[in-house]
Structure 1
Amino acid sequence: MPQPPGLNDAEQRLWAAFPTGATVVLGDDRPAGPLPERMVRAEIITQLLLGAGDSRPGSVAAVRLRGAYVIGRLDVSGGTVEHELLLSHCRLVEEPDFSNAETRQLRLNNCRMPGFDGGGLRADGFLSMSGSKIDGEVRLQRGQISGGLRLNGTTITATAPEKWALSGGSLVVDVGAFVRNATITGGVRLVGSRMSGGLFMEGTTLVNTGRIALDGQNMVVEDTAEFSNGFTALGTVRLRSARFNGILSFSRSRLDSTDPERMALHASHMQADELLLWPVERIKGRVSLSYSRISQILDNPSVWPDELYLNGMTYETLRGAEFKDRLSWVSRDPEFHLQPYEQLAAWYHGIGHDDLARKVQLAKLRARRRRLHPVAKGWNHVLDWTVGYGYRPWLAFAWFAALLALGTTVFSIEEPRPVKPGNELPAFHALIYTLDLLIPLDTFGQQLSYDAVSWTRWVAYALVTTGWVLATALIAGTARVLRPASGAN
């Protein structure tokens, strides 16, 4: 097709270069200003993309333009684009519209534009806006990008607080989504998206103060999700019900909800093969991993926030913290729950540390005690002091030995008198008499044969009472240990 009339010099050069895909350079590496020699109408680019230009055998036709000032709206919405588009260091006055279009490879690198509409875009190749400055929203919801998404070094700024800077709900990206060293103000929405080649956001800063910085609910990421190596989220990172078939990394990142009452990381009901939660500083805001299933967790006590929700979370391996730190880890939920303690105890038991598993169970019961009414709390203190809730039965024997020594000493100094004087009575023995008082049964016949006198009578009463308490506590504690834990509190 011959060149249409009315083309300016820059447009004539572009039309002539299209059949061979040659790059038309109109300026330097800075986004173009409104100079006449750089102006290209968006409708001319649209016509070429939609097949108005000629092709040449042996060459691949394409629109490749550098340093242009594009006026008008580049609109191929709903169309089929058979040619590659490469715009480099260009200024687009109006937002390009590729919604519901079928395209080849699209590159708008180091450009400046007031937004990008790619809702429903189906790209047979990659979509790149690396290095561009976008003063508006990038909409990619329901898009399908087979060659990968590249937003490396891109700056996106939403025009209003209630709008998403990058909206990619139900977006499907093959090969991988690379959003490295970008600055995105206004939040990123990737709800229900699928990243088949991984999601890489190293060095990127997301700013949405007091709101959601990244919404990745129900997102599926194959391979690796890298929110690491300088990644910063000023706002909530929400990954509820997301699935990561690989590593989810927050290594050397920064998570700050900007509001202590908000979630810094909301990752409940999530699935991941491995979670690396090791930011460069303590997480500012709440963190929820409730009801998540994670094969391996690597974290560090220095980064845990004050409020950490772990109820219902299951895991296979823990790394990065000592035993005493793990006890603190499971106790940071403002509400008491049995499950985090049970899960931690099961893990220690599974790796052969039964002693540590018992200590976790003991810590669980002590934490639960703080929420009981006064009477129950008092009895729980008795169980703890005497038998360690059944997890330290040797305490009962230690108490028993101490009381036995006390009683033997007391009744050796002040011997009880016979109940019925006569020769049929067994010979008095202070140790055996004390045993009879402590054991809640008249085992040796000394208790019924002799009666303590004077002040030692009160010692005898105390030994009988203590014996019953020890026996009851030992039975109750043992029954507690042997009985399966029940309840969801």
Structure 2
Amino acid sequence: MTEAERKLWNAFPTGEFVDLGPVRESIGPTAGENAPKDGDTWGPDRTIRARVIASLLLGAHDAGDGSVPAVRLRGARITGQLAILGGTIAHELVLSGCHLDEPIKLTGSTTRTIRLTDCCFPGLSAGGMRVAGHLSLSGSIITGTVRLSRAQFESGLWLGGTKVVGDDGEWSLYAPTVVVDSTTVMRNADFTGGVALFGGRFNGGLSLEHATLRNPGKEALTADNMVVEDSLRCNDGFQAVGCVRLRGSRINGTLSLEGTVRSPDTRYALHLSHMEIRELVLKPAEPIDGVVTLAHSRVGTLHDSPDTWPEKLRLNGLTYDRLRGRGVARRIEWVTRDPEGFRPQPYEQLAAWYLSDGNDALARRTQLAKLRARRQTQSSLGGRLWGRLLDAAVGYGYRPWLAGVWFTLLLAIGTVVFALDPPRPLKPAESPDFNSFAYTFDLLLPLPAFGQRELFDPGGWTQWLAYGLIVSGWILATALIAGATRILRRPQ
């Protein structure tokens, strides 16, 4: 052994730290800031072979009495590959400020806590590993993909301030079906390449606060069918360049997205369809650049703001119990942003929520907006014309007072005109005195009430006015009946 290796060998039984060089300890805002940049130039006095560390972890050196053995090392260059495949590691491994020449391989291993903090190494393969403790890569620079598929962690997974640059052109962190029984922290992390967490289970929440995910034109975060207990936090400066996809996931707490998402060149920028979310806080720092879908998801409480509503928003099939935030009266605009066109369900859901919240007037306005939007999709000219007539006459039944306005206006016009140019009596000897108000009223009603219409005959241009009043009366009556029988129903 070299002198450096013998120091580590002798310190192992008591678990003491071996310092081979200075290590930066100040915490900065930049991911990987403290990791060594020149570790590949360190000489023999700071160099330890990976097989020496592996031998210690696998029991090559007896433990000391009354102490807990461990490999704890600072400021070292580790040559060769640290590879323990399928082995059982009974001791803790702590590397701080170290440089590893080759990727680490711990696939299928069973270990205690592993801490690789503020280190620099070219990738980690640990699929299927079982950690009776936690895995920490905090502050490290990893120039290769971190693979943790099917891994299980009892006490947490920590990637706070970690910088990862994927080496396969697709993934920086590949951890499908991972299980973490405690907290998962990726605060201030920086990932170049996709982050795959689909099928994972995070029982202590997942923090992506101030994290940066870059995978332009592809999926920055893929987490389909993930389960998160507590909360998933994507705020405090969170940035994603690429699609954030959580399709089919279940958040048994709060999903908070208050950062920025930009992905105009993928099908969706934010894919939250078919999810179950107890509380969704969707208040990005700026409107999301791209299409956002909440289709067919179930949300308990939704918090958002009109200032950051997405330009393109799919809500078809979304159900929610409560809406919170500003712009209550502007929600109708919110449901009209579907890039694929009219969908009736978002209007029905919004109207139902308005009713449950005691806003009957806004519920009626929502139903009216739905019918107007549906009219634009009708292919037949007759259907569109009839819809416009119903809208103008009675607001599809949701504004029946419009019929009264039209009736009053036509009654006033007829009363004035026929008072100035009265019709001639058909039977002068038997006709009662002419009353322009009663005569106009009779013309507007489908069934005359005062008997004036049958006893007087208008002449000249007033005859056409009389015909117009009769037709208008039938139209108003028909529209009012249609609105009452087909439209005036409270949403269920």
Q: Give the whole-Å Cα distance in 2 for the aligned partners of 1:338 and 1:275.
A: 23
2:454 aligned counterpart, secondary structure: helix
The equivalent of 1:389 in structure 2 is: 396
Say which SS state the counterpart of residue 431 (structure 1) adopts.
helix
1:4 maps to none
| Cα shift readout 1:390-416 (whole Å, capped 9, x = no counterpart) | 000000011111111111111111222
Partners of 2:398 and 2:488 within 8 A in 1:
no
2:153 corresponds to which residue?
145
| 2:293 and 2:314 in contact (8 A); partners too | yes
CA distance in 2, matches of 1:315, 1:324: 17
**Candidates 323, 332, 345, aligned match of 2:328:** 323
Mapped contact 1:436–1:446 kept (Cα < 8 A): yes
Cα deviation, residue 143, structure 1: 0.5
Supply the distance in 2 between the matched residues of 1:173 and 1:218 (Cα, whole angstroms): 15
Structure 2 counterpart of 1:432: 438
- Offset, 1:485: 7.7
How far apart are the structure 2 equivalents of 1:422 and 1:333? 68
- What code does the residue aligned with 1:157 have? V
The count of residues paired between Structure 1 and Structure 2 equals: 476
Counterpart residue number, 1:333: 338
Q: Distance in 1 between matches of 2:46 and 2:460?
A: 114
- 1:87-122: CA deviation from partner (whole Å, max 9, x where unpaired): 111111111111111100010111111100110010
Partner residue in 1 for 2:172: 165
Question: Which secondary structure state, in structure 2, belongs to the residue aligned with residue 427 of structure 1?
Answer: coil
Q: In the alignment, what sits opposite 2:367? A: 361
SS at structure 2 position matched to 1:60: coil
Partner of 2:10: 16
* Counterpart residue number, 1:441: 447
| TM-aligned CA deviation for residue 289 of structure 1 | 0.4
Which SS does the other structure have where 1:392 is aligned? coil
In the alignment, which of 294, 298, 302 is matched to residue 293 of structure 1?
298
Distance (whole Å) between structure 2 residues aligned to residue 426 and residue 412 of structure 1: 15
Alpha-carbon distance between aligned partners in 2 of 1:446 and 1:485, rounded to the nearest angstrom: 43
The 2-side partners of 1:16 and 1:456 are apart by 116
Alpha-carbon distance in structure 1 between the residues aligned to 2:268 and 2:91: 45
Deviation at 1:324?
A: 4.2
Give the distance between the partners of 2:173 and 2:361, measured in 1 at CA.
51
Matched position secondary structure for 1:85: strand
Q: Which residue of 1 aligns with 2:238?
A: 231
Give the distance between the partners of 1:438 and 1:482, measured in 2 at CA: 24
1:61 and 2:103 aligned: no
2:418 to 411, 432, 456: 411
What is the CA–CA distance in structure 2 between the aligned matches of 1:242 and 1:71, rounded to whole Å?
Answer: 41
Deviates more, 1:175-184 or 1:438-447: 438-447
CA deviations 1:241-291 (Å, max 9, x no partner) are 11111110112x1111152x5311000011111111111112111100001
Kept in 1, the 8 Å contact 2:264–2:291? The answer is: no
Amino acid at match of 1:347: W
Task: Report the 3-state secondary structure (helix = DSSP H, G, I; strand = E; otherwise coil) of the residue aligned with 1:224.
Answer: strand
1:248 aligns with 2:242: no
In structure 1, the residue matched to 2:90 is: 82
Deviation string 1:175-214 (CA, Å, 9 cap, x unpaired) is: 1100010110001000000000000011110000110000
One-letter amino acid of the structure 2 residue matched with residue 254 of structure 1: T
Q: Aligned runs of 1:273-288 on 2, under 5 Å?
A: 273-288=278-293
The letter of the residue matching 2:179 is V
SS of 1:478's equivalent in the other structure is helix
Within 5 A, what are the aligned runs for 1:258-269? Answer: 258-259=264-265, 262-269=267-274
Q: Which residue of 2 aligns with 1:473?
A: 479
Write out per-residue CA displacement over residues 110-168 of structure 1, whole angstroms, 9 at most, x where no aligned residue: 1111100110010000100000000000001100001100001100001232x210011
What is the CA–CA distance in structure 2 between the aligned matches of 1:354 and 1:115, rounded to whole Å? 59
CA–CA separation in structure 2 for the residues paired with 1:160 and 1:457:
85
Shift of 1:427: 3.4
Secondary structure at the aligned position of 1:223 is classed as strand
The CA RMSD measured in Å over matched residues stands at: 1.4
Superposed displacement of residue 444, structure 1: 2.6
SS in 1 for 2:82: coil
- Amino acid in the other structure paired with 1:42: A
In percent, how many aligned pairs have the same letter?
A: 51
User: C-alpha offsets along residues 21-73 of structure 1, whole Å, 9 cap, x if unaligned?
Assistant: 01111111163343111111111111111111111121001011111111111
Contact 1:209/1:258 (CA < 8 Å) preserved in 2? no
**SS in structure 1 of the partner of residue 331 of structure 2:** helix
Map Cα deviations across residues 265-321 of structure 1 (whole Å, 9 max, x no partner).
000011111111111112111100001111111111222222100011011111223
What is the letter of the counterpart of residue 159 of structure 2? Answer: L
2:182 corresponds to which of 157, 162, 175 = 175
- Unpaired runs of 5+ residues, structure 1, are 1-6
Name 1:38's counterpart in structure 2.
46
* CA–CA separation in structure 1 for the residues paired with 2:488 and 2:437: 33
SS class of match (1:463): helix
Distance, in Å, in 2 between the alignment partners of 1:325 and 1:71 is 63
What TM-score results when the alignment is normalised by the length of structure 2? Answer: 0.94
1:27 — aligned with what? 21
* TM-score, with length taken from structure 1: 0.95
SS at match of 1:457: helix
Whether 1:347 aligns to 2:332 is: no
Deviation at 1:483, TM superposition (A): 5.4
1:73 and 2:81 correspond? yes
Query: What CA distance in whole angstroms lies between the structure 2 residues aligned with 1:312 and 1:138?
Result: 37
Q: Secondary structure at the match of 1:342?
A: helix
Helix, strand or coil for the counterpart of 2:104? coil
